[in-house]
Structure 1
Amino acid sequence: MLPYTVYSEAGGVGKTTLAANLAVAHARAGLDVLVIPLDPQDGDLSHLFDIDHDRADADADHIVRHLVEREKGPFDELIHHDIDHPGVDIIPEHNMLDDLEDVLQREADSRSDFGESFPKYTQLLRVLRENEVNEEYDVVIMDPQASPGAGVYNAIAASGNLVLPIEPSAKGQASVNGLEDLVSGLSEQLEIGVGVLAAVPNGFSGTNDQTEILEAVRELGYDVPVVFRQRSSLFEGCWRQNCSAFTYVREHRDRQRDHEMDTLAKFDELARHIERQGGIEAPNPPEPGEIEELAEV
């Protein structure tokens, strides 16, 4: 099993859009994928795939309950099997994620009163191991919130691998530099190794400054297998129609647009790169960007 976390400390870099489309790209190649979004904000991955209807239901079972062993049912009943994206399973987000840090800390304090240990940043790892997720899935993708906290730490501890969406700007470079400190500190705290599978620039327009920033990112030792240019129309369409970029182009476009087909191809290429880095091989990878025929421009 290949687990990884899509993470950036900077907001607005397309983190959730990248996680969602990578999940679909892995599944298109015949891999079984589980996505675990851990972002409490409303504009999250569950919203993108239109499966967040129970996020405010106080009586619903959810991932936070499982992290503190207060679950209402078996783990597999949390999982949504997305009929619009075959091969992609998702654990929908719940509003309780907004209180995750406090919930975990209260549980740790309660256990401590009885002399019990409760490492609050490795509970997702425990849940995945106890439920033998590695036996059911080829790829597990975590999508936590941008701000450091319990969701981020649990995701990184459970995955040990990162995919870094970056904005090709001075701000984006600063967030990557800051992430190195975060990862090294977390590695020491949790006594785990954390690897970076890819850095993924988004919104690249080819200016000299952006090119220099990409080179600086590469000099940090990160692979940059693909670069996404500005695709605001495509990605905004995905959020408007609650679907992946592949579905949007196939079902909501009446003709082929070369720049959008190139974007789909890059999602496929990035997925293959991540798979190679993680030591797995997709059984049936399509030609990059290949979907059902559309009318030519």
Structure 2
Amino acid sequence: MLSYAVYSEAGGVGKTTLSANLAVAHARAGLDVLVVPLDPQDGDLSHLLDVDQNRADSEIDTLVHHLVGRGIGDFTDLIQTAEQGVDIIPEHNRLEDLGETLRKEREARSDFGESFPMWTQLQRVLREAEIHKQYDVLIVDPPASSGPHLYNALDATRNLVLPVEPSGKGQASVDGLNDLVSNLEEQLEINIGVLAAVPNRFKGTTDQEEIVSEIEAQGFDVPVTMRDRTSLLEGCWKKKCSAFRYVQEHRDRQRDYELETIAKFDKLARHLESEGGLTAPNPPEPGELSQEETGVRA
């Protein structure tokens, strides 16, 4: 199974948008995809894919219940299906207190001489549910801040995809990420790979070209660069859908630059699948759209 977290410690670089569109790109190529978003803020991936209707319901079972071993029902009952058959564990407001909830559980178990490693609980839940047997691709979308959400995401996936702002600030965040990854590898005693860096809002200036070259010189693969497509991506958030569905259903005509953008999501998905030793059964031509693909599978 191909598994990765889409992460940047810098906010506003399109992390969640990239996660959602990669999920759809994998699924439309015939792969079974599960997305586990972990961002407690409103305007998250669950909102983008229109499965966040119950995030404030305090009576329902949630991922957090399962992370502390107190699930109300089966873990797989949490799964909802979004566009193109992408499965997702909807975010819930309980994620806001995840760190405190995990700490309380660790203390409670310590009183009985039991261990409770806080950073490995997502991996445990996914393993016990045999997610690796049911899905080809696992994508985790943690928040930008470091902490229990990120640490659980990295321990569960062991791989990163890095959206990068092609600026001095963005380059600094990549430089800092090397230290962060090294520290996490030591703390968690795991190896963390970087599958790709993805420059976003790229305008092709000389300074940006130099920054991308420097990122590549650090050993990061840069399979695609994403141009500034503010109108397209804002439209996705407004209509609660991927760029694929937005172009297909909510544009009066197809625009070449938007087709180029979704083609890059397809190309990036193929690159990540290759990195994970995965071959999609029905990959479309990059950017090719069909009427059937925008439907929701049961």
TM-score range, shorter chain: over 0.9
1:242 aligned partner, one-letter code: K
Can you list the C-alpha shifts for 1:137-165, whole angstroms capped at 9, x where unaligned? Answer: 00000001000010000000000000000
For 1:197, what is the secondary structure of its paired residue?
A: strand
Q: Residue type of the partner of 1:118?
A: F
What is the match of residue 269 of structure 1?
A: 267
Matches of 1:259 and 1:179 in 2, distance apart?
31
* Match in the other structure for 1:260: 258
What's the secondary structure of 1:102's corresponding residue? helix
Aligned match of 2:49: 49
Give the deviation of 1:183 after TM superposition: 0.8
Query: Helix, strand or coil: the match of 2:11?
Result: coil
Alignment correspondent of 1:69: 69
Aligned partners of 2:34 and 2:290: how far apart in 1?
25
Is 1:171 matched with 2:159? Answer: no
Look up the SS of the partner of 1:121 in the other structure: helix
Is 1:239 the counterpart of 2:237? The answer is yes
Task: Determine helix, strand or coil for the equivalent of 1:196.
Answer: strand
The one-letter code of the counterpart of 2:178 is E
Find the counterpart in structure 1 of residue 28 from structure 2.
Answer: 28
Check whether the contact 1:30–1:87 (CA below 8 A) recurs between aligned residues. Answer: no
2:105 alignment partner in structure 1: 107
Superposed displacement of residue 114, structure 1: 1.1
Q: Which amino acid aligns with 2:70?
A: R
Partner in structure 1 of residue 294 of structure 2: none
2: CA distance, partners of 1:11 / 1:57? 27
1 CA distance for matches of 2:275 and 2:92?
32
- Aligned residues between the structures: 291
The 5 Å alignment of 1:163-202 reads 163-202=161-200
* TM-score normalised to structure 1 length: 0.97
Shift, 1:209, TM fit: 1.1
SS of equivalent to 1:115: coil
Q: How does 1:68-147 map to 2 (within 5 A)?
A: 68-82=68-82, 85-147=83-145
* Distance in 2 (alpha carbons) for counterparts of 1:58 and 1:181: 38
The aligned residue for residue 296 of structure 2 is none
Equivalent-residue separation in structure 2 for 1:292 and 1:257 (angstroms)? 15
Are the aligned partners of 1:144 and 1:151 in contact in 2 as well (CA < 8 Å)? Answer: yes
**Aligned mates of 2:78, 2:133 — CA distance in 1:** 17
Residue ranges of structure 1 left out of the alignment (5+ in a row): none
Confirm whether residue 37 of structure 1 aligns to residue 37 of structure 2. Answer: yes
Aligned to 1:2: 2
Counterpart of 1:288 (choices 266, 286, 289) is 286
SS at match of 1:229: coil
Percent identity over the alignment is 67
Structure 1 residue 87: Cα displacement: 2.6
User: Equivalent residue for 1:154?
Assistant: 152
